[in-house]
Structure 1
Amino acid sequence: MSRELEADRENWLQRWRAGQIGFHQATPSPLLVECWDRVGARDGTTVFVPLAGKSVDMPWLAEQGYDVFGVELASLAVEQFFAEQGLEPRVSHTPKGVLSESGPIALLCGDVFALDAPDLAKCGAFFDRAAVIALPPGLRQRYAREVYSKLPRGCVGLMITLEYPRHEKQGPPFSVPEAEVRELFESDWDIELLVRRDILAYQQSFRDEGVTALHAAAYRMQKR
């Protein structure tokens, strides 16, 4: 494991231990609700949710009729997810980590970078709200190269990013502009910008840090 990846892992584990999870949303992501129908995911397919945390986006996707395969590093996040959803998961130990399953939702406590193509073979779709923007630049490149490359051909998904003047704030979450999204993924994926929204008025913490412009962007992606 690289020093950068090890440091990033420890940073996120410490955030969960300290309850520093301001990135968690109590309601489904607005751009997921608005844009998911335009993604074109097959009915009943499995949706891959990387760096899933305890996201309520997972039960929202399950309610739409999809299976969900989330991957999360922090065991505390996995425990809190099932407790807060009122679910008693079946727990099994796998070579990639501890797998907790309840109904259509499976949540793997493990390293997303350790996944192999067979682990993702059933994932005909993905939803990425908090993964690509959570990773520093070097790990974003590795993430695109080592994780997204293992998703099956024809996979479709929705990626949500943030855009702000990089000199005004240190991530995470990091600013990932459209040019970088295309640089990271366009060699293997068709990318369509669905919407870009000015959200600065709704993000007090960013304004408190002196950020003067903040947009959320949603991309439909399909693997060639």
Structure 2
Amino acid sequence: MEANFWHQRWEKNEIGFHEASANALLVNHLPSLRLGPHSRVFIPLCGKTLDIHWLLSQGFRVAGAELSELAVTQLFAELNLTPEITQRGQLKHYRARHIDIFVGDIFDLTADMLGQVDAIYDRAALVALPAQLREKYTAHLISVSHTAPQLLICYVYEQSQLSGPPFSVDDAEVKQHYQSHYALHLLENPEVAGGFKGRIPAQEHVWRLIPAVTENRP
């Protein structure tokens, strides 16, 4: 998926993926990661999601990566925050109290730039990427986060009926990307109400990913 595709989506306000409230699956299942107070949650391809508002309201710190600078400027405006903006390599770093957003190509983000990550919340990143990029993305995410625990939400549907994004990422593919580093737990797989475009049956699969070394401790 070329960067220009997403820039045009934001410029035209074609952001049907942007939800009008915090995601219910996040609210219901983030506690399963057992995060401590003030933990830092990384959201890849974050847009201006209201999930960030909710996480901040719960006392978490937030880091994000987003291609569209327009989305990020809107996010800070909606948070009523004035960011400090610096250049970090190929990325712009928007920063305010308890929030850091890196603007640009997520593959230019390094572990040193990102800093501490206590958990990853991926609702709209893996499913936004075409198949040929997903393996590169998941390997990069593991690297920059030092295999942080993850709450992952995927769509599962008959891909031939819809071109995407969001793309269908089934359970076998999730395991292909992550099972060598994590213990995977499928928490819930609710139906998408009305399906995609009101006609294509789809489910959301909610995964908890716990680093294998942590899972195997006594």
Q: Same fold (TM over 0.5)?
A: yes
Give the match's secondary structure for 1:43: coil
Aligned residue pairs total 212
CA contact (8 A) 2:91 2:108 kept: no
Deviations 1:78-120 (A, max 9, x none): 0111112222222222224111122211111121111222234
Q: Does 1:56 align with 2:50?
A: yes
- The answer (yes or no) to whether the contact 2:122–2:153 under 8 Å persists in 1 is yes
In the TM superposition, 1:70-219 aligns within 5 A as: 70-153=64-147, 155-201=148-194, 203=195, 205-207=196-198, 210-211=199-200, 213-219=201-207
What is the CA–CA distance in structure 2 between the aligned matches of 1:111 and 1:223, rounded to whole Å?
Answer: 26
| Unaligned stretches of 5+ residues in structure 1 | 1-6
Is 1:21 the counterpart of 2:12 in the alignment? no
Q: Deviations over 1:156-202 (max 9, x none)?
A: 1200111111111111000111111111111112111111101232x
Kept after mapping to 2: 8 A contact 1:41/1:157: no
Distance (whole Å) between structure 1 residues aligned to residue 20 and residue 128 of structure 2: 18
Letter paired with 2:129: L
TM-score (normalised: structure 1)? 0.89
- % same residue: 33
Distance 1:132 1:30 in 2: 19
1:38 partner amino acid: S
TM-score between the two structures when normalised by the length of structure 2: 0.91
Counterparts of 2:90 and 2:187, CA distance in 1: 34
CA distance in 2, matches of 1:10, 1:67: 30
**Distance in 1 separating the partners of 2:30 and 2:67:** 25
Q: Distance in 1 between matches of 2:93 and 2:83?
A: 9
Q: Which aligned segments of 4 or more residues in structure 1 are displaced greater than 4 angstroms?
A: none
Matching of residue 8 in structure 1 with residue 6 in structure 2 = no
Q: Is the 8 A contact 1:121 1:152 kept in 2?
A: no
CA distance in 1: counterparts of 2:107 and 2:22, whole angstroms: 25
Corresponding letter in the other structure for 1:206: K
